[in-house]
A = this chain, B = another copy of it.
Amino acid sequence: MRERMSELVHQKQDEICEALADVDGLSFREDTWERDGGGGGRSRVLQDGRVFEKAGVNVSVVEGELSEKAARQMGGGTHIDSLEFWAAGISMVLHAQNPMVPTFHANYRYFERGEGDEPGSWWFGGGADLTPSYLFEDDVVHFHSTLKDACDAHDEEFYPEFKPWCDDYFYLDHRNEARGVGGIFFDNLNDRPADELFGFIESAADAILPSYLPIVRRRRDTPFNRHHKRWQQLRRGRYVEFNLVYDRGTKFGLRTGGRTESILMSLPLTARWEYDHHPVEGSPEAEMVEVLKNPRSWV
C-alpha cells in the first residue's frame, strides 16, 4: 500500500498541475525537500498567474517517530504502542484572481503506525471543499454532485456521512460560520480492506479536476469591480483565520517541524481584515454569509 499510495499522489500531482498550468498559462515552480527525521516532498506553486492568484499542489511521503504528544493527538491507531509512522498524501489549495471563482481545497492521505499490520494501525483520510466569495448555486451543485458520484461508486453511505463531516470540520467557531460551502471530509477510514479504500481514494482524486475546472472555465471571465475584489479579500481573511486557528494539518505540520513554506502555501497571496464589517442586507455578499451560517444540502 505504501508503494501504491506514493505512486498515486505523485501521478495525480503531475496530472493536476499539467491541467492547471494549461488553464492558467503560467507554469508551476517545483521544490523538492527532505524532512529531518525521514522522507520529504515535492511542492509545486503557481503564483500571480492569469487565472490563479496562488495555486499550490504538494505531495509528501514522510516517515519517522512521533512525539508521545503527537501520537496521542493522531487519529487512527491510538492503541498502537509504536511511535513509528509513515504517511503519504497530496494536498492542494487554489486561490483564483477573479472573485467569482471559488477557492478550492483537496487533500488525500494514507497513514500507518508501526508496520501498519495491526488492526486500526493504518487509515485513509482527506476530502475536498469549495470556498466561494459569491454564491452561484449551479457551481455548488455541480461540485457536490461530482463528489457524490465519486463516493456513490464505492459506497452510497459515504457521501451522506462525509458531507456533514466536512461542514463540521471547516467551521469557524469564533465567527459562527462555515469556511465555505463544504464538500466531503473523512478521517480514520479503515472499516474495510485497504484495497477497496484505495480504490475510493483513487476515484476521489480523479474527481478533483472534474469537480472544479468547469467552474473555473465558467467564471474566470466574469466581470468584477473593486467592490467584489474587496469582498473577496475579506473572505480570504477568514480563510487565513481557519487555517491558522483551526486546521489540524496546518497545526500538526508547524508543530512537528514540517516545511513551513509548503504548509503555508495554503494561505492566499493577499487578505484583508476590516473592523466589524457587515455586508448590506439583501446583497449578494449577505446571501453568501447566510449560506455559511446555515449549511445546506446541495444534492
In the complex the two chains form, is B54's CB within 8 Å of A275's CB? yes
C-alpha spacing A251/B173, complex, angstroms: 12
If A241-B244, A244-B241 touch, does A47 touch B275 (CB 8 Å cutoff)? yes
Taking CB as reference atom, which chain B residue is nearest A243?
Answer: B244
Contact of A244 among B29, B244, B272 (CB under 8 A): B244
In the complex the two chains form, is B267's CB within 8 Å of A269's CB? no
Contacts of A264 in B (CB 8 A): 241, 273
Contact of A267 among B233, B237, B254 (CB under 8 A): B237
The 7 closest A-B pairs by CB, nearest first: A244-B244, A267-B273, A45-B275, A174-B254, A261-B276, A174-B260, A270-B272
A245 at the interface (CB under 8 A from B): yes
Contact of A270 among B244, B245, B263, B271 (CB under 8 A): B271
In the complex the two chains form, is B269's CB within 8 Å of A269's CB? no
C-alpha spacing A88/B272, complex, angstroms: 29
A240 at the interface (CB under 8 A from B): yes
List residues of A whose CB falls within 8 A of some B CB. 29, 31, 45, 47, 54, 56, 173-175, 233, 237, 240-241, 244-245, 251, 254, 260-261, 263-265, 267-276
Chain A to chain B contacts (Cβ below 8 Å), 23 pairs: A29-B275, A45-B275, A47-B275, A54-B273, A54-B275, A174-B254, A233-B270, A240-B244, A240-B271, A241-B244, A241-B264, A245-B245, A245-B251, A261-B275, A265-B275, A268-B273, A269-B272, A269-B273, A269-B274, A270-B271, A270-B272, A271-B271, A271-B272
In the complex the two chains form, is B47's CB within 8 Å of A260's CB? no
Taking CB as reference atom, which chain B residue is nearest A29?
Answer: B275
